[in-house]
Amino acid sequence: MSEIWFYHHESARIADTLPELLQKVLARGGRALVISPLESRLDSLDQHLWTFVDDSFLPHGRADRPRADQQPVLLAHAPENLNGATMLFCLDGADPGEDGAWERILVLFEADDPGALDAARALWAARKKSQTPVSYWKQSASGRWEKSG
């Protein structure tokens, strides 16, 4: 059973925090699958991960493009694990589906997105009821993620 971590973005934007989280996965030798139902989010992330810092980039690709299975970070609409990812990142209310072989599932949502907030609450309640291990994370004033529940 995969553990689910909920990352509540109250002041920071997902686009600002996701690259750092993905870098941590890659530094540990893992792979990541990032899913969103929004094509605009995937397009934006596709560009952002190449340019989020001046002297580096995050190697990644799209599930609907060639060599998806070779990408260390894969952007997709559904939790189909084409690249052998160990971590699943769910954005914009994306449903992680049935429990897969994920090391961990991270649900990232912004406080000003009511749809994603409602989806996160519903997923939390359902997974808590099924006794899936869940954790709630929020950012401190200094910007560090702190476990809150």
Task: Give tens-digit pLDDT for 109-146.
Answer: 998 999 999 999 999 999 989 888 999 998 887 878 88
Over 70: is that where the pLDDT of 149 sits?
Answer: no
pLDDT recorded at residue 106: 96
Domain count along the chain:
1
* Domain containing residue 110: CATH number: 3.40.50.10110
Inside any domain, residue 147? no
Task: Say how many C-beta atoms besides its own lie within 10 A of residue 149's C-beta.
Answer: 9
CA 28 – CA 54 distance, rounded (Å): 23
**Which residues span the domain enclosing 78?**
3-141
Is residue 67 domain-resident?
yes
Closest CA to 85 of 6, 5, 30: 30
Nearest alpha carbon to residue 117 among 126, 129, 125, 108: 108
C-alpha–C-alpha distance, residues 138 and 149, integer Å: 10
Residues 41-64 have a mean pLDDT of: 92
What's the rounded mean pLDDT across residues 76-105? 92
**Position 95 in a domain:** yes
Domain presence at residue 40: yes
Is 33 part of any domain?
yes
Query: In this structure, is residue 149 part of a structural domain?
Result: no
Instruction: Spell out the SS3 assignment of 73-118.
Output: EEEECCCCCCCCCCEEEEECCCCCCCCCCCCEEEEEEECCCHHHHH
Confidence of residue 99 (pLDDT cuts 50, 70, 90): low
